[in-house]
Structure 1
């Protein structure tokens, strides 16, 4: 059977490994971390949210970035220090503003289609990841934001998502613990939540038992494409029939090694995990997953004892530092909207979202017939990965065919 290397053991890499394995490939997954799901897939907002499919390519986003550039605790922070990578990415971001509506519809359609794939993986692997089908509630504090949400709702509907507008009372009926100056909301029954790290780790263990090889704690130092295969250097050199790059923000440098341009920028996001250590906090914490569109903050209940709160976007290069001024707004948000939840025991985290300038994942072949990409999912990796894994699995399968020849090597089925 053809051998495929997958670079990256986050949510996209592990779901890619699943998609390739069920199609009969011999799969090896590489990651520099010792365990699966230890970077951007470690502690995100927990939402499987087709309702959050709106891309960011709007002039309003640009104006907010300029307005908040010198405000360290702003929801969107852009380090004003210039850099070629940042400038090139933002130039392409601006060029994609005319495709805002089209790409939002495409993303929503992809997110809806991903649900069946996630359910299949969860059922086959039997992994427990604090899944909850409790829906997602968006709430709004200004008429301007609510009006924009109505426009977005039309785009989401084009993508096949059913989402309903709620009055203030209906918002509070959905989540009685919520406090604040709320004027309305939207409800998505079909969205859900779960612990991305538990899912990624659990699926990786199951795949390993099914025969997928995991080489973890082994950074890939170089890649070479030759006539007879792709060579991965990781202490020693190993030959594969093909490679899928699903390495998050590292995908850009791996693409350069392979002769491709994948203009991913690392957009840092923060989260806190509020440990609900006492009965009053457990009773006062939301059971419905929430998205505050004004603050760009999400909240998800993960089992009985944890509340995950996440948000913010920081354009500051490949910087993983956890800054108090970025964490503090998440704690204050919890104290404002859920005042009876104790924030004494909060665990902060920061991860780098791999974002393409058009806010769409890069899924498909590279210049060479042996090279493929499934990366650049931005803030929707947890939501989109089952769908993009299926697409890349089908793409790789279409390129290869089983053909036993002398020495047992596999042959590439060249495009006509």
Structure 2
């Protein structure tokens, strides 16, 4: 089968590799000059198989109101007259109940677990290297109420058989020795030991090279105009450099995916939630993290990537903006310097990216009403984490195989 993948971020490249490995002829199209140059470029570096869950959670609406008045708020809303933003926010609020949170987190955990298995197999078969680490994620709590709220996450982890360890302040220091100097600020923690770390940009570029060896063609610097159909079936993809005939298309365009589907009447509830990161060279190893620490107070991940520290986080709902406000940088610097002052902030690089978020946190993976048109998008903050599992799932769907995961949990039909 001749398949065209739209988008060369981590989700698009893992999809292309998986389909090529299954014997298909695959072409990847991206407007950038190479792979992983947008949202996948400088994300937090977490591969969070255990630490994953929807932003839509019980209590979030009240917290959001409080965060409006905090300097270092993890959620920032910059409203504008944008109907897509308004409808997305309404749908997100509808998912903030305890019942919906449990359903959505379960779906995300199952996909993440499949991705953990798929990534391990990929490493074994390719030897791919990407500054990876396998020491887990430590969710760090500075407040007693955060420790109490942990119960719902522990329940979800236990229900899906995901390993975890609840620790006190001393346990946090045992896991991350550099935290010893701030032990008095720590109330407790939750360790998910199967979580990993790695440079998503390096991973995606390395995998793209391995995909080429399987025959995948990459068309860079090319704008996608439209998906052309005939008789309700995909026929080709029109670009600014010509028309590419194809049997099937997989849309992996992140936050821009809805624009490609509008002409078919497909309403994909994916909206950009902006995130920020700092990449900091390590000056003092004894004051740097060993793996990933999630500072729960600010929803900021602090991750060791070789000789660098990657600090990433925050969720800003502001449309398709990629500006770099000084206030957001101050929040990242505040979190990392308070816990791990081992980096040279004077040499840090500041970045922002648009995460493609669904209202329920679960990505949209599967078929559409148009024959030959498939989706693999809407992974939010967890594209790196879920990419390998998502690629396996969409390949199983496209080949008509029995899927490891329930199709209806991830299909766009769940929004109807």
User: TM-score, normalised on structure 1?
Assistant: 0.91
Query: Contact 1:223–1:258 at 8 Å: present in 2 too?
Result: no
Aligned to 1:293: 296
Instruction: Find the counterpart in structure 2 of residue 113 from structure 1.
Output: 114
**1:263 corresponds to 2:269:** yes
Q: Is the 8 A contact 2:292 2:303 kept in 1?
A: yes
Q: How does 1:307-326 map to 2 (within 5 A)?
A: 307-326=309-328
Q: Find the counterpart in structure 1 of residue 287 from structure 2.
A: 284
Task: Report whether the alignment pairs 1:172 with 2:178.
Answer: no
Name the structure 2 match of 1:411. none
Name the structure 2 match of 1:186.
190
Aligned counterparts of 1:63 and 1:171: Cα–Cα separation in 2: 29
Partner of 2:50: 51
Give the distance between the partners of 1:215 and 1:260, measured in 2 at CA: 26
Kept in 1: contact 2:376–2:390 (CA 8 A): yes
User: Of 243, 251, 256, which residue of structure 2 is paired with 1:250?
Assistant: 256
Question: Could you list the runs of 4 or more consecutive aligned residues of structure 1 that deviate by over 4 angstroms after TM superposition?
Answer: 70-73
Partner of 1:408: none
Deviation digits for residues 36-80 of structure 1 (CA, Å, limit 9, x no counterpart): 011111111111112322212224222222333465752110013
SS in 1 for 2:177: coil
- Residue in 2 that maps onto 1:407: none
In the alignment, is the contact (CA less than 8 A) between 2:51 and 2:137 conserved in 1? no
What residue number does 1:406 align with? Answer: none
- 1:346 alignment partner in structure 2: 348
Identify the residue that residue 228 of structure 2 maps to in structure 1: 224
2:30 counterpart residue number: 31
- Taking only aligned residues, the RMSD between alpha carbons, in angstroms, comes to 1.6
Deviations 1:133-184 (A, max 9, x none): 1111111111110111122111122122111101111111111111430011
Gapped regions of structure 1 (runs ≥ 5): 400-416
Asked whether the equivalents of residues 48 and 383 of structure 1 are also in contact (C-alpha less than 8 Å), the reply is yes
Distance in 2, Cα, partners of 1:327 & 1:257:
38
Cα distance in structure 2, aligned partners of 1:31 and 1:44: 19
The separation in 1 between residues aligned to 2:68 and 2:245, in whole angstroms, is: 46
Gap runs ≥5 in structure 2: 402-416
Q: Deviations over 1:17-51 (max 9, x none)?
A: 11211221111001111110111111111111123
Greater mean deviation of Cα atoms: 118-127 or 156-165? 118-127
Q: TM-score, normalised by structure 2?
A: 0.91
Higher CA-based Rg:
1
SS in 2 for 1:335: helix
- Note the C-alpha offset of 1:96: 2.2
Q: Size of the alignment, in residue pairs?
A: 394
Do the aligned partners of 2:72 and 2:298 also contact (CA within 8 Å) in 1? no
- In the alignment, which residue of structure 1 is the partner of 2:409? none
Q: Give the conservation status (yes or no) of the 8 Å contact 2:79–2:317.
A: no
